[in-house]
């Protein structure tokens, strides 16, 4: 029988007190783990280092809102940009790829964000070295859609299924138009998993998505700083066509109309434009400096902004999430220390009734170090059992909470993500155990054998 077994025995002797103290350690550690995992996931999610675009171009306003809306689809769109601006960017000689994005509606079932875009969106890596993959087709056709893996799973949608979308706004109007699923994306562990992608043309063709003509003209006047005549001249061809159809019934649900005619550019809007600058193989930093230059230029001219998405997210991380994390980690550390104190109290209280046992062991030939070690071992067993239970509990907690969190925020949390800091919990807990076991251990060390044998 070694010291470990002896320690284990005396823990079992006081099973209730021992389990309660170990449990208090476990709860502290579980909370710590939950904070660590949540933090890892949040940092990973908000780290756009490998984001496939240099800039997000959107209406002026909060940079953070623009990124949260465009990338994470968790904030409502600020406003929209004229489609004509997207076309201009496409022609910009410094811009390599410009992908339009239209957001604002969601699915009737599951309330997933619907994103209208072109198939170019899927050609750009969603993260460093990671390409989109579809199970079948890309949404090339006007009423075609591909859906993220979580959408497919949670809505139980399959290829060939059709769905309607709900208009964002107070009325919660359900559009009558239906999109057909032609592909399901492979999981990306990004907000794309919770997004429904529809063909941009289909998105515009939905009744009510086209901006009323005069409103659209006024918007462009303001946006580009042109006169109404200039705007009208720019869209002359479209306007003429529209006049020709003036007699047509627009108010009813005449979908044939939408199927037959493309929405005129004047009436189209985009929520944001994802931009990748032209790259120069000989000068790898050129794209970067072009992006900086471009966004600086925008600040002065149009009512638009170009944002490098990494920066607002980094600010969010350091100033907000980072501090919250620090507070939470300190709180959980305090909880763990308190639970360590409870181990101390539990062992220390047992010492007076155990003096006799210690004296017996000494009489059987145990030296002072042996009885000291037994007490320390007890403390370590309790702390370690608590820590291991806590680690399991923490991951369990995340496993239980992650679907709820994902449904609420769209952030997916893998409960089995492992934070390297978890590794430090074990040695830290052993240290804590040695610390709280030291004084009771010392009591054991100093126990007077003769005195306690005779009592």
Partner 1 sequence: MSLELKNVRKNYREPNGHDLPVLDIPHFKLETGEQAALVGSSGGGKTTLLNVISGITKPDSGEVLIDDIEITRLPEAGRDRFRAERIGFVFQTFNLLPAFTAFENVLLGMSFARGKADRSHAKQLLESVGLGHRLTHKPAQLSVGEQQRVAIARSLANRPSLLLADEPTASVDPANQETILKLIGEICREHNVSLLLVTHSPEIATQFDRTIPLQEFNKVLQNV
Among 10, 145, 190, 379, binds partner 1 (CB under 8 A): 10
Report how far residue 34's alpha carbon sits from residue 411's, in angstroms, rounded to the nearest whole number. 15
Question: What number of chain residues touch ligand ADP (CB under 6 A)?
Answer: 2
Cβ proximity to ligand ADP: between 60 and 452 the closer is 452
Residue 9 touching partner 1 (CB under 8 A) = yes
Among 261, 367, 431, 446, binds partner 1 (CB under 8 A): 367
Interaction partner, residue 370 (partner 1, ligand ADP, none; CB < 5-8 Å by kind): partner 1
Which member of 286, 316, 333, 449 binds partner 1 (CB under 8 A)? 449
Told to check if 356 binds partner 1 by CB under 8 A, we report yes
212 binds, among partner 1, ligand ADP, none (CB under 5 to 8 A by kind): none
Q: How many residues does the chain have?
A: 455
Distance from C-alpha of 51 to C-alpha of 129, rounded to nearest angstrom: 10
Minimum distance between the CB of residue 360 and ligand ADP, rounded to whole angstroms?
A: 17
> CB-based contacts of 213: which residues, under 8 Å, 6+ apart?
239, 242, 266, 267
Q: Is 107 helix (H, G, I), strand (E, B) or coil?
A: strand
Q: What token pair was written down for 119?
A: 């198939």
Residue 2 interface partner, choices partner 1, ligand ADP, none, CB cut-off 5-8 Å depending on type? partner 1
Among 160, 208, 365, 420, binds partner 1 (CB under 8 A): 365
Q: Exposed, middle or buried, 2 (CB in 10 Å: 0-12/13-18/19+)?
A: exposed
Least distance from ligand ADP to the Cβ atom of residue 361, Å = 19
Query: How big is the site for partner 1, counted in residues (CB under 8 A)?
Result: 25
The single residue among 74, 189, 317, 370 that binds partner 1, judged by CB under 8 A, is 370
Closer to partner 1 at the Cβ: 9 or 133? 9
Which of partner 1, ligand ADP, none lies near 367, with the C-beta cut-off 5 to 8 A by kind?
A: partner 1
Half-sphere exposure (Cβ direction) of 148: Cα atoms closer than 13 Å: 23
Torsion of CA 13, 14, 20, 22, to 10 degrees: -50
The whole-angstrom separation of Cα 440 and Cα 230 is: 88
Residue 127 CA to residue 146 CA, distance in Å, equals 19
Q: Any contact of residue 454 with partner 1 (CB under 8 A)?
A: yes
CB of 445 to partner 1, least distance (A): 11
Residue with the shortest CB distance to ligand ADP: 451
Instruction: Check if the beta carbon of residue 230 is closer than 8 Å to that of residue 218.
Output: no
Does 453 contact ligand ADP by CB under 6 A?
no
**Least spacing, CB of residue 381 vs partner 1, in Å:** 14
* 8 A C-beta contact, residue 148 and residue 194: yes
Nearest to ligand ADP of 222, 451 (CB atom):
451
Q: C-beta of 448: minimal distance to ligand ADP in Å?
A: 7
**What residues have CB less than 8 Å from 231, skipping those under 6 apart?**
217, 220, 221, 224
Residue 369 or 407 having the CB closest to partner 1: 369
Residue 241 sits in the site that holds ligand ADP (CB under 6 A): no
In angstroms, the CA 335 to CA 28 distance is: 5
Percent of the chain that is helix, strand, coil (3-state, to 5): 60, 15, 25
Measuring CA to CA, which residue among 420, 378, 254, 336 is closest to residue 3? 378
Task: Name the binder of 12 from partner 1, ligand ADP, none, CB < 5-8 A by kind.
Answer: partner 1
Q: Which is nearer to partner 1, 125 or 448 (CB)?
A: 448
366 interacts with, out of partner 1, ligand ADP, none, CB within 5 to 8 A per kind: partner 1
Which is it for the CA torsion 187, 190, 195, 196, positive or negative?
negative
| Residue 432 CB, nearest approach to partner 1 (Å) | 25
Strands 144-147 and 174-184: parallel
Interacting residue with partner 1 among 361, 375, 391, 393 (CB under 8 A): 361
Which of 79, 125, 176, 451 lies at the binding interface for ligand ADP (CB under 6 A)? Answer: 451
3-state secondary structure of 54: coil
User: Binding pattern to ligand ADP, positions 393-432, x when CB under 6 A?
Assistant: ----------------------------------------
The angle formed by the CA atoms of residues 356, 439 and 367, to the nearest 5 degrees, is 50
Taking CA atoms, 167 is separated from 112, 151, 175, 259, in Å, by 12, 18, 7, 19
The DSSP output letter for 364 is: T
Decide: helix, strand or coil at residue 132.
coil
Residues sharing a CB contact under 8 Å with residue 353, sequence separation 6 or more, in sequence order: none
Contact between 1 and partner 1 (CB under 8 A)?
Answer: yes
Residue 153: name its binding partner from ligand ADP, partner 1, none (Cβ under 5 to 8 Å by kind): none
Binding site for partner 1 (CB under 8 A): 1-3, 6, 9-10, 12-13, 356-357, 360-370, 449-450, 453-454
Interaction site with ligand ADP (CB under 6 A): 451, 454
């Amino acid at each position: 029988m070694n010291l470990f077994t002896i320690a284990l025995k005396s823990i079992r002797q006081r099973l209730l007190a021992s389990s309660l103290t170990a449990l208090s350690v476990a709860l502290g550690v579980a909370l710590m783990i939950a904070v660590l995992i949540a933090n890892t996931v949040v940092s990973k999610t908000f780290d756009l280092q490998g984001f496939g675009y240099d800039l997000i171009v959107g209406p002026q306003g909060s940079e953070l809102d623009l990124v949260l809306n465009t990338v994470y689809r968790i904030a409502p769109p600020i406003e929209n940009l004229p489609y004509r601006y997207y076309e201009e960017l496409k022609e910009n000689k410094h811009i390599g790829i410009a992908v339009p994005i239209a957001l604002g509606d969601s699915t009737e079932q599951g309330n997933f964000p619907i994103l209208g875009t072109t198939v170019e969106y899927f050609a750009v890596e969603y993260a460093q070295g990671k390409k989109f993959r579809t199970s079948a087709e890309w949404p090339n056709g006007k009423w075609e859609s591909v859906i993220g893996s979580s959408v497919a799973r949670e809505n139980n949608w399959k290829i060939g299924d059709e769905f309607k979308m709900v208009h964002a706004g107070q009325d919660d109007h359900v559009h009558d138009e239906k999109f057909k699923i032609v592909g399901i994306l492979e999981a990306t562990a990004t907000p794309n998993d919770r997004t429904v992608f529809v063909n941009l043309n289909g998105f515009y063709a939905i009744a009510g998505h086209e901006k009323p003509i005069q409103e659209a003209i006024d918007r462009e006047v303001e946006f580009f700083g042109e006169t109404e005549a200039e705007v009208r001249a720019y869209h002359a061809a479209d306007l003429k066509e529209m006049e020709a159809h003036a007699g047509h019934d627009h108010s009813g649900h005449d979908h044939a109309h939408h199927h037959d005619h493309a929405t005129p550019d004047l009436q189209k809007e985009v929520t944001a434009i994802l931009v990748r600058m032209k790259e120069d193989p000989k000068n790898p930093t050129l794209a970067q400096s072009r992006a900086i230059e471009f966004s600086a230029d925008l600040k002065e001219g149009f009512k638009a902004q170009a944002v490098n998405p990494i920066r607002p997210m980094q600010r969010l991380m350091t100033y907000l999430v980072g501090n919250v994390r620090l507070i939470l980690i300190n709180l959980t550390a305090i909880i763990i220390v308190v639970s360590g104190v409870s181990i101390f109290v539990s062992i220390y209280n047992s010492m007076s009734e155990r003096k006799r046992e210690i004296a017996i062991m000494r009489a059987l030939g145990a030296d002072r170090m042996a009885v000291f070690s037994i007490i320390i071992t007890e403390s370590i067993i309790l702390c370690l059992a608590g820590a291991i239970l806590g680690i399991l509990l923490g991951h369990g907690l995340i496993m239980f909470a992650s679907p709820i969190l994902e449904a609420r925020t769209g952030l997916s949390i893998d409960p089995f993500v492992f934070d390297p800091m978890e590794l430090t919990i074990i040695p830290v807990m052993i240290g804590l155990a040695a610390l709280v076991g030291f004084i009771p251990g010392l009591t054991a060390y100093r126990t007077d054998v003769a005195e306690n044998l005779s009592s």
